[in-house]
Structure 1
Amino acid sequence: MTAAATASVHASSVLVGKHAVLIRGASGAGKSRLAFDLILAGRAGQLPPAVLVGDDRVHLEARGGELVVRPAAELAGLIEIRGLGIRTCDFAPEAIVGLVVDLAAPDADRLPQPEALWTRIHGIEVPRIPVGIGYTAAPLVIAALTMTANSPSPRPSADCPKGIGNHISPTIATE
């Protein structure tokens, strides 16, 4: 494994059900907030059970055709909750990334182009949600996780009557 493959990246991640959500964005963009919101949504039953993988710094690795995320060792089980400080919580030692969320994304559009809904990390193509500045990310992510397949393999449906190719497909509950 190369040093680049083992270096940590500035991101947070939460395991929701069987796949992790990787949350990227600049410092102060709301990565920890979205991670905590997803954990709370899992506890409230809005999502499958959700547990922190890592907050602020995570390691990414391509393994067997999948993107694997794990926490930075020194931050494992720690999450920043604005107004309360650093708190400890349960965490998953690693998970397969099934969705990437880019906060304050410059290409966030009301009706994003199909190519904006995918990203490639370490050679692995993963579904992506670009979230614009000033938009609350949690509802978008919860909608994506409950209204569309949470898998890196299926492409957005081509049967959209508007011809934009991002029609909603089966939920993760039906997989």
Structure 2
Amino acid sequence: MLLHASSVARDGDAVLLLGPSGSGKSDLVLRLLHSGWSLVADDQVELRAEAGDLRPEAPAPIAGLLEVRGLGLFGPLPRAAAPILRLVARLLPRAEIPRLPEPETWSAEGVSLPAIRLHAFDASAPAKLALALDAALGRIAQPAGAFAKGMP
């Protein structure tokens, strides 16, 4: 399955970045690369179902390339090897990001994954993505509804 998307990985766990052209996919990838993440694919991502998981990879013609708006194409860059997709981030305008969102999922090839909404151009976007991935992996708790119940 080929998607107009980008993907990055950390320690073998990948995130899929979905959004229209200009939504900040490549910009967020660039900032994540400078935070220790690895490139999987930029602009187009092939998803392959394998043993109940989804594995993202770059189509061969663009493997290792990153488009930096205003500067051009760069690469080849080091790429993550065979990561497993764990989280999907829908890149949206800030006005479409709820303050306290309900849990969301995204599905493809019979696999459902946790999904978040994110404004890619926020300075905190890389940290938010890392936090959401840690929550998706169960490394940290995400107390659903805690704020609504009066927690500080």
Q: State the TM-score, normalized to the length of structure 2.
A: 0.81
Q: Which residue of 2 aligns with 1:151?
A: 137
Q: Which residue of 2 aligns with 1:113?
A: 102
Q: Greater RCO between the two (CA within 8 Å, min separation 6)?
A: 2
The residue type paired with residue 74 of structure 2 is: R
Aligned ranges for residues 3-152 of structure 1 at < 5 Å? 7-42=1-36, 50-88=37-75, 89-104=77-92, 108-114=97-103, 116=104, 118-132=105-119, 136-137=121-122, 139-146=124-131, 148-151=134-137
Gapped runs of 5+ residues in structure 1?
1-6, 43-49, 168-175
Gapped runs of 5+ residues in structure 2?
none
Instruction: Give the Cα separation in 1 of the matches to 2:38 and 2:115.
Output: 20
Q: Is the 8 A contact 1:12 1:24 kept in 2?
A: yes
Instruction: Give the Cα separation in 1 of the matches to 2:141 and 2:112.
Output: 11
Q: CA RMSD in A?
A: 2.8
Instruction: Give the Cα separation in 2 of the matches to 1:112 and 1:159.
Output: 9
Structure 1 90/138 Cα, relative in aligned 2: closer, same or farther at 3 Å? farther
Residues matched between the structures, number: 147
The residue type paired with residue 90 of structure 1 is: P
The residue type paired with residue 135 of structure 2 is: A
Report % sequence identity.
34
Q: State the TM-score, normalized to the length of structure 1.
A: 0.71
Instruction: Give the Cα separation in 1 of the matches to 2:123 and 2:60.
Output: 26
Shift of 1:122: 1.9
Deviations 1:128-154 (Å, cap 9, x if unpaired)?
11125xx635624423424743428x9
